[in-house]
Amino acid sequence: MPGSQLVNRLQDLNYRVLAVNNAAQLAAITQRETPLLLFIDVVTLR
């Protein structure tokens, strides 16, 4: 999974990490979780 090293490092630093694989649910999840920081990996498929 891309970014898994980042996820592991943040968890090691005691950050709560939530990985979202469905872009359609991103808005609802950010409203519910009110994140301090949001990383988005955008992939364009051709």
According to the model, what pLDDT value does residue 15 have?
Answer: 92
The length of the chain is 46
pTM for this prediction: 0.59
- The CA distance from 34 to 32, in Å, is 6
9-32 pLDDT per residue, tens: 999 999 999 888 888 888 899 999
Do 1 and 19 form a contact (C-beta atoms < 8 A)?
yes
Residue 8 has pLDDT above 70, yes or no: yes
Residue 2 has pLDDT above 60, yes or no: no
Q: What are phi and psi of 13, to 5 degrees?
A: -90, 15
* 23's tokens: 């872009």
Scanning the structure block, which residue is given the tokens 């090293």? 5
Nearest Cα neighbor of 36 from 17, 22, 20, 23 is: 17
